[in-house]
Amino acid sequence: MSHSHDHSHDHTHTHETPNTKEKFLERLKEQGFKLTGKRRTIVDILLEEDRYISAKDLLELLKIQFPRLSFDTVYRNLHLLKEERLIEESVFGDGGSKFRIACDANHHHHHFICTVCGRTQLVEGCPMDALQLETPAGFHIETHRFEIFGHCADCCQSSL
């Protein structure tokens, strides 16, 4: 159950990381959620995109296959997927939320994020380890947020 045989039909994705469609869908099924066509397609698209996109962009992509789909379903599924830790959310500079398929739900990480295309790169290490933190007396840490924003190589190019 943990090491599912995900050598299915080879995808556009080359790496044999845990990010296979089947694994994601299995996780949902295990939790008792139904694998509807829309839900499958959302996971498909997010895997395919492999970058941060807005709910609006996601809806647009979904409408190709499901013209009548609207925001409510998108958001409901985004919430669900986030709860199940299958996607990651980040608030961009303009205040808008964007979402990407979870890189690795089990491994804590941070990202370089391209503010143009939403593509990401892993950051080596975590500031909570690297900084010798002097936590204020009595302060109880819950979460932290560390993100590096900029232009990726491709988007630097295209802005020339």
Residue 1 to residues 26, 27, 30, 139, Cα–Cα distance (Å)? 9, 10, 10, 40
Q: Rule CB under 7 A: choose which of 11, 23, 27, 38 binds DNA.
A: 38
Q: Which does 66 bind (CB under 5 to 8 A by kind): DNA, its own copies, none?
A: DNA
**Residue from 11, 54, 112, 115 in contact with DNA (CB under 7 A):** 54
126 is in an annotated binding site: no
Q: Which of 125, 101, 131 is nearest to 112 (CA)?
A: 125
Largest Cα–Cα distance of the chain, in whole Å?
55
Helix or strand (DSSP H, E) at 65: helix 55-65
**Backbone phi, then psi, for 98, in 5-degree steps?**
-130, 160
**What minimum distance in Å lies between the beta carbon of 95 and its own copies?**
7
Identify which range of 12-20, 72-80, 125-133, 140-148 contacts DNA by CB under 7 A.
72-80
| Segment near DNA (CB under 7 A); pick from 1-9, 52-60, 101-109, 124-132 | 52-60
- Rounded to whole angstroms, the Cα distance separating 91 from 94 reads 8
Point out which residues bind DNA (CB under 7 A).
29, 32-39, 54-56, 66, 68-73, 75-77, 79-80, 95-97
